[in-house]
Amino acid sequence: MKMTEIDPLDITKCLRKQTAKPECSQKKTVDVPKKPVLEIPKLPELPEPTEEDLPKLQDSYPDYFHFEKGKKSRYFDLVYHGKRFNSAIYGTCNTIWQCAHRRKYRCSAVLQVSKDYTNFEPRNEHTHGNLKTKGESELFTPQQALPIMFRISWKKNQERKAKRVAMSRVMKERLKIQRAKAKAEAEAERERIKAARRKKPIPKIPEFPGPQPAEDELPKLQDSYPDYLYFERGPNTLYYDLVYYGERYNSAIFGSRYTFWQCSHRRKFKCPATVHVTNDYTEFERRYEHSHGEQPSTRNVELYTPKQALPTLFRICWHRVKETSVKRLQLKELRKDKILTEEYRLGDIHDEIPVEEELSFVEEQADDSDDSFTWAD
Ligand SMILES: [Zn+2]
Ligand SMILES: [Zn+2]
C-alpha cells in the first residue's frame, strides 16, 4: 500500500490555515468597532495514541463498504453501498459521514458509523441516484484505511477536548479579569464618593475682633478631665460640638457662669436634653432626657481632647459673654430712649423692634440634620 505524501494526521497545518483567514477579512471592516474576539488559545502538542486508545481492527469487514481517496485529497471518502460520503464529523462514540453530493443535490443523507466500524446507521434518503466519481481515486480496503481512520478520529477528539479545556481556561481568565475590573471600578467609585465628602471642609474658628481677654480673665485649664468628655469639629460646626458620655451637644449658650449645651438632635427629635457646665468645665449637669436613641456620629469630624479644645472655648465664652453684656446695655439704653420718645409722642408706636430678637445671643449652629449652615451671626 502506498502512503500519501500529505499526512492526514497533520491537523495543525489545517488549523493554521483556518486561523489565518479571519485576519484578512478583518482588514476590510476597519471602521466597524471591533468586538472582543475570543482568541483561540494555543493548543499543547498532542501525544500519539497508544494501542489501547484505538478500536481493535477486525479480522474481516463486510464488502458493502470501502474507502477511496483522490490523488489531491487529504482525507478518505467512505463508499457505502455504492454511495459516497465525506467530511466526516468525529464524535466520541460515532463518526457521522455526510453525502459527498450534499451541496450539488441539497442532499441531507448521512451515515452514522460506530467508532470501530462494525455498526452502520444510514439517515435521510439521498436526493439522487448513484453518481460516478470525477477523476481518478485510489481504493482502500477497511483493513488498509481503518488504522489511519482510527488515528484521525482519536486525534480529532483529543484536539476537541484540549480546545475545550483551553477555552474554559481562557473564559475563566477573562471572567477573573472582568471581576477584577468591576471590583477596581467599584473601589474607584467609593473613593470618588469619599473624596466628594471630604471636599466640604471643616471651617476655621472665626477670630473675634476688639479687645482680647487677659490670662486671669479666663478659667484655669485643669491637669486632667474625665475621659467621657471630648470635643468634635465637623463641616457644619462653627465652634465645637461637645461629646458627653457619647452624646453629642452643640449650639452652646454662653452665660457668665454656666454654658448650656443643647442636644445635637434637638430639631430632628424635638429633644430637650441639655448639659449645663460651669465655664471652667469642672461641674456638669445633664438636664432632661433624650427623646431618641443613640444616633450615629457624623463622618469627617476632627476629635479634640478637653485640653486641646478648652483654651479656645474659654476665649469664645469670654467674647460671647462680653457681647451679651454689651447688647444688654445697648438694649437698656434703647428701652430708656423708647420710653423717653414715647413720653414725647402721642400714641402710635407700631414699628417697635422686638426685644427678643435683639436679646438672642444663642450661638446657632447647624445640627447634623441641617446642611445649609450659614456664617450669619
Ligand atoms: Zn446524497
Ligand atoms: Zn437628644
pLDDT tens digits, 300-320: 788 999 999 999 999 999 999
Q: Identify residues whose C-beta is under 5 A from ligand 1, the ion.
A: 99, 101, 107, 109, 126
State the ligand closest to the CA atom of 81. Answer: 1
CA of 332 to the centre of ligand 1 (A): 118
The structure's pTM equals 0.43
The amino acid present at 257, given as its one-letter code, is: R
State the ligand closest to the CA atom of 125. Answer: 1
CA of 77 to the centre of ligand 1 (A): 13
Is residue 9 classed as helix, strand or coil in its secondary structure? coil
State the ligand closest to the CA atom of 244. Answer: 2
pLDDT at residue 36 in the model: 58
Cell of 265: 438632635
CA of 335 to the centre of ligand 2 (A): 37
The amino acid present at 150, given as its one-letter code, is: F
Reported as a single tens digit per residue, the pLDDT across 125-135 is 999 988 877 77
Identify any residues that bridge with 123 across adjacent strands, giving them in sequence order. Answer: 110
CA of 257 to the centre of ligand 1 (A): 111
CA of 367 to the centre of ligand 2 (A): 11
Question: Could you give the dihedral angle defined by the CA atoms of residues 322, 328, 332 and 333, in that order, rounded to the nearest 10 degrees?
Answer: 50
Reported as a single tens digit per residue, the pLDDT across 339-377 is 777 777 655 545 544 444 444 444 444 444 333 333 333
CA of 291 to the centre of ligand 2 (A): 6
CA of 360 to the centre of ligand 2 (A): 22
The amino acid present at 181, given as its one-letter code, is: K
Question: Locate cell 477596581: which residue?
Answer: 184
pLDDT at 331 over 50: yes
Reported as a single tens digit per residue, the pLDDT across 105-143 is 999 999 999 999 999 999 999 999 888 777 788 999 999
State the ligand closest to the CA atom of 249. Answer: 2
Question: Locate cell 468525529: which residue?
Answer: 90
Element (H, E) at 98: strand 94-99
Q: How many CB atoms neighbour CB 50 within 10 A?
A: 8
pLDDT at residue 26 in the model: 47
Reported as a single tens digit per residue, the pLDDT across 266-284 is 999 999 999 999 999 999 9
CA of 246 to the centre of ligand 2 (A): 11
